[in-house]
C-alpha cells in the first residue's frame, strides 16, 4: 500500500494547522474520485500534532509499504533537505520494509508558475 504524507512547519495558530488537515482530506477525496484511492496523511514538523512520528506510525499500522513525503514548503531550505527527511527516517527506523522518498518542494512542481499567476490575478 502507498501513502502520501503532507508535511508543513506547524503553527501556533490552529486555523493554519487545520488548513493542512483539510488539504489532506481534499487530496484523499480527489484521488478516490479519480480512481486512485491512496492513504493521505498530514503532519507538522514542530509546534503541534500530529507529529511526523505519529503520522508515520499511523501509516505503518495501516500497512503502508511505500511512503512519499510531500513537503508543503516553497524551496529546498534546511527543513526540506535535512530536518523532515531526518524525522521521517527516524520514525521509520524500525520498519526497514517501508520505502520512503521525498517529493520536491512546491516551487519545483509542474504547474506551480501557472498557479502563482492565477493567484496574482485574484489579488
Is 37 a residue whose pLDDT tops 90? no
At the topology level of CATH, where does 2-122 sit? Answer: Rossmann fold (3.40.50)
pLDDT of residue 123: 58
- Residue 110 φ/ψ region, left for φ over 0, alpha for ψ in the -120 to 50 degree band, beta for the rest: beta
pLDDT of residue 39: 97
Which pLDDT band, with edges at 50, 70 and 90, does 105 fall under? Answer: very high
C-beta separation of 10 from 45 below 8 A: yes
For the residues 108-116, what does the mean pLDDT come to? 95
pLDDT more than 70, % of the chain: 99
Which pLDDT band, with edges at 50, 70 and 90, does 38 fall under? Answer: very high
- What are the domain boundaries of the chain? 2-122
pLDDT of residue 122: 76
Place of cell 493554519: 16
Instruction: Give the separation between CA 94 and CA 17, rounded to whole angstroms.
Output: 28
Which pLDDT band, with edges at 50, 70 and 90, does 10 fall under? Answer: very high
State the cell numbers at 16: 493554519
Amino acid at each position: 500500500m502507498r501513502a502520501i504524507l503532507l508535511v508543513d512547519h506547524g503553527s501556533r495558530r490552529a486555523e493554519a494547522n487545520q488548513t493542512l488537515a483539510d488539504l489532506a482530506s481534499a487530496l484523499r477525496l480527489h484521488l478516490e474520485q479519480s480512481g486512485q484511492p491512496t492513504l493521505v496523511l498530514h503532519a507538522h514538523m514542530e509546534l503541534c500534532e500530529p507529529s511526523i512520528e505519529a503520522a508515520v506510525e499511523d501509516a505503518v499500522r495501516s500497512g503502508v509499504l511505500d511512503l512519499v513525503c510531500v513537503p508543503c514548503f516553497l524551496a529546498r531550505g534546511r527543513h526540506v533537505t535535512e530536518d523532515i527527511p531526518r524525522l521521517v527516517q527516524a520514525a521509520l527506523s524500525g520498519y526497514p520494509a517501508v520505502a520512503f522518498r521525498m517529493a520536491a518542494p512546491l516551487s519545483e512542481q509542474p504547474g506551480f508558475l501557472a498557479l502563482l499567476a492565477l493567484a496574482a490575478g485574484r489579488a
